[in-house]
Amino acid sequence: MTTMTDSSVREFKMPDVGEGLTEAEILKWYVEPGDTVTDGQVVCEVETAKAAVELPIPYDGVVRALHFPEGSTVDVGTSIIAVGVGDGAAAAAEPVQEAVADTPATTEAEEPKPEGRQPVLVGYGVSTSSTRRRPRKGAKDPAAAQEVSAAIQAEMNGHGPSAPAAPSAPSAGDRPLAKPPVRKLAKDLGVDLATVVPSGPDGVITREDVHAAVAPAPGEAPGAAPAAVAPAPSPAAPASYDTARETRVPVKGVRRATAAAMVGSAFTAPHVTEFVTVDVTRTMKLVEELKQDKEYTGLRVNPLLLISKALLVAIRRNPEVNASWDEAAQEIVVKHYVNLGIAAATPRGLIVPNIKDAQAQTLPQLAGSLGELVSTAREGRTSPAAMQGGTVTITNVGVFGVDTGTPILNPGESAILAVGAIKLQPWVHKGKVKPRQVTTLALSFDHRLVDGELGSKVLADVAAVLEQPKRLISWA
């Protein structure tokens, strides 16, 4: 809880910077204790499972403390920096966190209200919510409310309460108190939180409580409050290894998200991959011609541009491929827009930003979008929003000299096109063997909603456009 005084302290909490992400790693602090900060000033850079994001502070003041060092992984909602603010700055900042107890109506009327425009970031709003947090059981006066809030904040920061409150079962009609990760654990284990005896401060249900509900101790009466909590067993010492011969790299951030997504996709969607080898000599000639066109001056013109356009044409001719599988509703969702994803290798790992409504862009517009997407990814500035909502993806493994591959679908999508290296090869052209520029394409698709005929048509159309680029006009 933040106390309003002549020189109050604001606790800035880790926001949700990626549409439902639960944690982020602090990569770099741009301030230190004693520094003066202003509303909207970037104070740190954090990395989520999807991207690196800079966080602005939403008020003026002086940095009092940095609660976590660089490299720390922090849960969303946990305070990361304390800023001392004056009365004037406090009025423009976000409202003070309310006490979690019943408060008189006069107190509500006296609470400071935000004035003017507030910083907008994923996880912030342009205005404060009118929704009030439900009073928590056991806090009957302001002093008790302050103790409860301090205990909850201490738990969020990982310090734990100084003395655990006596557990009590939730009263009828009350929604059990538990953090989102604990609720998910209970759902996964099939545990009704209303039947769990909480051991956390102010009746908050912990992960240990959920596990105890699944496997109660022998002889323990159902619903009985646990006695003293047994100390957690010491973690096993990590296996020793030769540091000169091995290096262990923690899996986190983008790498961890990619691993989870690929495992989930590979073992959820039945993948089928088809291949075709195509003569792209005419496409390469068109690329060179476009580079000389004044309309493309300053734009990124390369084979990927025409490959992207070829895929968009193929999707227009076969719209059923641009779909997703809704397992809960048991429906196939056909998209009438194409958010074209481009797989990009970055120092932080593989990311797949996408071009929104790519089907509506002209060739010069598509060239501009591709150039911006690639440069932003290389600089590590890709936003989480840019990686949401993709419908189909292209991965260009040819830049590494690879002929082709069997790509894994991006979760939530039905198809991904892999493009191999374009090489000069002997090819039968007009009845004679000639050196031609040739590449191999591979299309992986979700066989739940894309059958062999549809997948083959899409891949054949892409190849046909690249072999005869004039089809970009005749098939438009």
Active site members: 447
Closest CA to 81 of 43, 108, 51: 43
CB atoms within 10 A of CB 377: 22
For 379, residues 6+ apart whose C-beta sits below 8 A from its C-beta are none
CB 305 within 8 A of CB 366: yes
Pairing status of strand 415-419 against strand 392-396: parallel
Which SS3 state, helix, strand or coil, does residue 149 take? helix
Query: CA-CA distance, 462 to 443, in Å (whole number)?
Result: 10
For 342, residues 6+ apart whose C-beta sits below 8 A from its C-beta are 304, 308, 352, 353, 354, 355, 370, 373, 374, 393, 394, 395, 396
Q: What is the dihedral of CA 359, 364, 366, 369, to 10 degrees?
A: -140
Query: CA-CA distance, 28 to 71, in Å (whole number)?
Result: 8
Query: CA-CA distance, 257 to 349, in Å (whole number)?
Result: 10
Closest CA to 405 of 451, 381, 439: 439
Query: CA-CA distance, 334 to 450, in Å (whole number)?
Result: 11
Angle at 214 between CA 208 and CA 219, to 5 degrees: 95
Farthest CA pair distance, the chain = 92
CB 173 within 8 A of CB 203: no
